[in-house]
Amino acid sequence: DEKYLPRALQSGAGAVIAGEFAAGSSAARSSGKPLLISRHPRLAFARAARFLREENRDGPDVCVHATAVVNASSRLAPGVMVEEHAVIADEAEIGAGTRIGAGCVLGRAVKIGQQCEIYPHVTIYAGTTLGDRVIVHAGAVLGSDGFGYVRDPKSRRHEKFPQVGKLVIEDDVEIGANTTIDRGALDETRIGRGTKIDNLVHIGHNCRLGENVVIAAQTGLSGSIVIENDVLLGGQVGIGEHARIEEGVMLGGQGGVLPNKVLRGKGVAFWGTPAQPVRQYLKQLAALARLDRKSTRLNSSHLV
């Protein structure tokens, strides 16, 4: 922001990343501080910060803590780090430069790509696949059974439907703390490249999320939902089974989508339950407020 430029130039920073507004600044010229001009300074700063804080884990050695348990049939590429009390089952594959945090459990035949960061106490069920540069925060559970049952009309008991599919997470996905993503029942659950998922999110079995989807905390997705590319879901959103959210839709916090419904409209913001375009929703709220005021006046006059 332009108003912060003088303070930034007077700070102890070795250099300042600023927007194009700073190119002709007299304060910048007189400060003598290196000034890096960017059309998108916040993005440039994020990339620079990541570059400066990343550790080099491309070395030839695999580092496994003495308390970790790694099955002999698992394959660990150069630069892999396995921290205290982690457990890696048979036939797992872990790519170069990936870190497995303390207390993590990786099931049979789990595949994890390069330069991933798996924070402590993450559980990854058997057969789950993670691409490159995936970040999974503490306490997440990936590939657990979906919530699927068939009721026996005679005994009224709920019989478990097979949950034998897979979970595939593509490159550059980030998954928040204590988030749970179920494996497919017979097919697969898939999280598309570049998708970012906040803490305490639940994604049910057979869901398919596109690329660059953003999901805020405490959102819940039922089974067999399709979320297309570039969708934004606010906090505490709830979506019913077999619903479809088409490309570029924005759904505000606590919005609700009923089962089998479709939301479409690239760049259109939806809100409310059931979700509808935000302008329409606000008009309805205004109409209700007018009715409430009218009702209050009528009741007051009646009492008088």
Select which of 85, 137, 205, 302 is catalytic.
205
Q: Is 205 a catalytic residue?
A: yes
Given the DSSP bridges, would you call strands 238-239 and 256-257 parallel, antiparallel or unpaired? parallel
Q: Contact at 8 Å (CB) between 223 and 259?
A: no
- What are the two backbone dihedrals, phi and then psi, of residue 264, each rounded to the nearest 5 degrees? -135, 150
CB-based burial label for 219 (10 Å; 0-12, 13-18, 19+)? buried
**Angle, alpha carbons 208-214-220 (nearest 5°):** 60
Tell me the C-alpha distance between 177 and 179, whole Å.
5
User: Other C-beta atoms within 10 Å of 302: how many?
Assistant: 7
Residues assigned a catalytic role: 205
